């Protein structure tokens, strides 16, 4: 079961890393905000939950999340058969993985430069 979840996270991660420009922000805090904002909203969309979109940044995150959730539903059909609780676990693991790859595990020292 754990191997299956890891494989699914890897598939979703691979899509983001190859196709989503938002992962390339130049500052760690921008990446943290975007990862949280987009992936949380994508999870909410996949779980048919209400999504906050009252502010301009929230609308931007929502628009990216709508696209990402649509791609995930059409390209990775198995996500449509998952329960809401399973989707929440999957998306949490995905966010943790994306945070590691784009922030905490990144070798890009400019991400952590306080003057940048």
Q: Is the pLDDT of residue 25 over 80?
A: no
Distance of alpha carbon 111 from alpha carbon 52, whole angstroms: 28
Name the residue range of residue 84's domain. 1-16+52-106
> What number of other Cβ atoms are within 10 A of residue 86's Cβ?
14
Is residue 1 in some structural domain? yes
Q: How many domains does the chain have?
A: 1
Is residue 41 in some structural domain? no
Instruction: Find, among 14, 87, 108, 103, the residue nearest to 45 by Cα.
Output: 87
pTM here is: 0.91
Instruction: Find, among 92, 80, 77, the residue nearest to 13 by Cα.
Output: 92
Q: Is the pLDDT of residue 111 over 90?
A: no
Is residue 33 in some structural domain? no
Distance of alpha carbon 42 from alpha carbon 83, whole angstroms: 15
* Average pLDDT over all residues of the chain: 92
Q: pLDDT for 64-102, tens place per residue? A: 999 999 999 999 999 999 999 999 999 999 999 999 999
Is residue 87 in some structural domain? yes
Is residue 90 in some structural domain? yes
């Amino acid at each position: 079961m754990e191997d299956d979840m890891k494989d699914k996270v890897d598939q979703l991660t691979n899509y983001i890393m190859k196709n989503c420009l938002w992962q390339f922000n130049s500052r760690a805090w921008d990446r943290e905000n975007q990862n949280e904002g987009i992936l949380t909203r994508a999870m909410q969309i996949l779980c048919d939950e209400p999504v906050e979109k009252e502010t301009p940044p929230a609308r931007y995150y929502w628009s990216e999340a709508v696209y990402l959730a649509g791609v995930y539903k059409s390209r990775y059909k198995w996500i449509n058969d998952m329960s809401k609780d399973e989707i929440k676990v999957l998306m949490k693991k995905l966010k943790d993985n994306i945070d590691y790859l784009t922030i905490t595990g990144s070798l890009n020292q400019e991400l952590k430069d306080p003057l940048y």
